Amino acid sequence: MRYFKLTIAYDGTDFHGWQMQTDKPTIQGEIVNVLRRITQENVQLHGAGRTDAGVHALGQVGSFRTQSALGAGEFQRALNALLPAAIRIVGAEEVGPEFHARWSSLAKTYRYRLYRGKVVPPAVWRYVLHYPFPLDEEAMRMAASRFVGPHDFASFAASTGSEDDDKERSTVREIYASDLARSEDGEELVYTVRGRSFLRYMVRKMVGTLLDVGRGKLAPADIESLYALKDRSKSGPTVPPQGLCMVRVEHAEAYRIPPS
């Protein structure tokens, strides 16, 4: 048995998220279908995170095992030849059996783009939330910094759909970095967050809360109150998915197979 890591970029606009679904196009589903076609095996693909419908990626990571004799470069070329153009395998390498895209992950980085100009250029409208209205950006930056550290993010997570599961799951997460900055051209306000793992809709709720701070509905100091409340109805709205992108997934280097 051999083990492979894929680094995957995709435009999520026309897909129903990462996770395989019956009769709906998904990123995982498209890749699995091609892998099974290439290997003639019932390949299972594990992802580092389950991005939602409409969310994009520059550096999603997937892992799978196979008895195929194909090398990493051959898998990359074959996948890119057969996958939809909206999904690209930007990296492929053989790894050891202990590597798992999700469980071996050390950190993930997400980015959310707010377009602040009056008119969104056609080339970027799929990847930004258009918000040309006044915002207190300095207050938003102060609020963003308050996400750093280990906190209970219950107020910033969607329900699992089950009251019992909601009660049993841990909603404590650690955020390593949380920054809000203008893009180089000044047209976008870009939020970047890095953490070990994230709850469902967590980043989108965090951005919605930052927008409420920018509008004056909340103050930066209210972030601490939201942790204590553990009530998702008190935080900001869940912003649309198209502005969100999984930028990078970090793994320890120990999984690499030394060159022969």
Q: Give catalytic residues, as residue numbers.
A: 52
What is the 3-class SS of the chain, one letter each residue? Answer: CEEEEEEEEECCCCCCCCCCECCECCHHHHHHHHHHHHHCCCCCCEECCCCCCCCEEEEEEEEEEECCCCCHHHHHHHHHHHCCCCEEEEEEEEECCCCCCCCCEEEEEEEEEEECCCCCCCCCHHHCEECCCCCCHHHHHHHHHCCCEEEECHHHCCCCCCHHHHHHCCCEEEEEEEEEEECCCCCEEEEEEEECCCCCCHHHHHHHHHHHHHHCCCCCCHHHHHHHHCCCCCCCCCCCHHHEEEEEEEECHHHECCCC
d(CA 207, CA 191): 8
Burial of 82 (C-beta count, 10 Å sphere; 0-12/13-18/19+): middle
